[in-house]
Amino acid sequence: MVGGGGKDSESVEAIGLEHSFVLSPTMSSIPGLLTLCPSRAELLVAREPLHQLYTVEKQPFARGKFAAVKRCRNVLNGEQFAAKLIRKRRRGGGPTPESLHEAAVLDLCRSCPHIVQLVQLYDTPLETILILQLATGGELQSVLDRDEIPEEKHVVRLLRQVLGGLLFLHNFDIAHLDLKPQNLLLTGPFPECDIKLCDFGIARHIARGADMREILGTPDYVAPEILNYEPISLATDMWSVGVLAYVLLTGCTPFGGETKQETFCNITRCQLEFPDELFQDVSPTAIEFISNLLTHDPSTRLTAQCCLHHSWLNIGPSTDKIPSFLPSEDSSTLSCNNIPVPDDEDLEDRQTRADSAYHNTFDKLFVGGQTAPKIGVACAANAVPLSTASSKLVVLPKRIGTAPTKNSLTPYAFLRF
């Protein structure tokens, strides 16, 4: 069955008999969404039924709230792909603005080697189906799930590829907004493989000077400006890069708490630590790299371009070339390496403001009050906000993992796909 089963589900053969597609611009209340232009849609949207060209496995190898991903095979040449089946809001309706947006972003990035490729697009009464390049090595998260801490040289090589893909996106003013190991796919067995960014369901086009505010992302990787409901930017991705580097080098997340509320509070306070037991074998330049990304002020974070020129990512031999679209090393933008160090008074004031912002924001988010932001928020009915008189938080790195805790909260509508 396609789309996770249920009485409305039909076989691939049945739903592949009909197809239609909306080519008009996306009409959505969600800012920053793109859509396919008619000429590109004409090339990508399949006109024949799905089953004439692909056989799709019944069981998904990945599943989210609104989508499932299954292996499929081209019946003509046997080549394998991944089929992402995105459920529609109503039977027989057009594609959702989010599915059109993801297709448009993928199509825009079709020449980037570090972003998964969109091959074809199908529209059926129940689902929009993206046929994607298959990364046979699975998610990067699977490496961490095996309690395997990658060697620093492998982290460097993979991060260069992640940043190459991110720079490509940022050159089009697109922020991914959900960078994490689950959204980084391996092309083969680790570590002798390449990496590709995937899952652009909550990516946003952020016009220059735009004031865009949304509550979205994944708890351990979300930036403080999102939690504080402040404007997001391309720099929001760079915070996630810093968390990703920390996680890959240690297997732990820098701000993880026992609950999601505690994790969020740790992030907004932004008290970054590098415990000796975790970083004794990590180079000082790696620590500097992370420190220059995990800064509370987005304007002080390294850009993707700066990161690719950072000394840590350019130590030792590398077979990866700097992307051809990367400006030369003498670019004036490289001055962002000079990150100011806040004084103690500033840190104390920042902590006070962060604590206040945390309690003001999450009392509304988890209770679902009338003044809570509406975009991208799914308030949990049984969630209880932290009291302002709660006991002192202990900020310690937490072992990263995918298994949800019992009765865990889901504060984001777009955690998966």
Calpha distance 99→199 (Å, rounded): 11
Cβ(48)–Cβ(68) under 8 Å?
no
Cβ(191)–Cβ(150) under 8 Å?
yes
Q: Which two tokens stand for residue 108?
A: 């825009």
With vertex at residue 31, the alpha carbon angle to CA 263 and CA 360, rounded to the nearest 5 degrees, is 35
Calpha distance 221→256 (Å, rounded): 10
330 in catalytic set: no
User: Is 101 strand, coil or helix?
Assistant: helix
Q: Name the helix (H) or strand (E) containing 400.
A: none
Long-range contacts of 386-392 (CB under 8 A, 24+ apart): 386/261, 386/262, 386/265, 386/358, 386/359, 386/362, 388/359
Task: List CB contacts of 377: < 8 A, sequence separation 6 or more.
Answer: 215, 365, 411, 412, 413
Q: Which two tokens stand for residue 76?
A: 């003509």
Cβ(379)–Cβ(365) under 8 Å?
yes
User: Is 130 strand, coil or helix?
Assistant: strand
With vertex at residue 366, the alpha carbon angle to CA 364 and CA 371, rounded to the nearest 5 degrees, is 25
Question: Of 107, 178, 199, 237, which residue is the catalytic one?
Answer: 178
- Tell me which residues are annotated as active site: 178
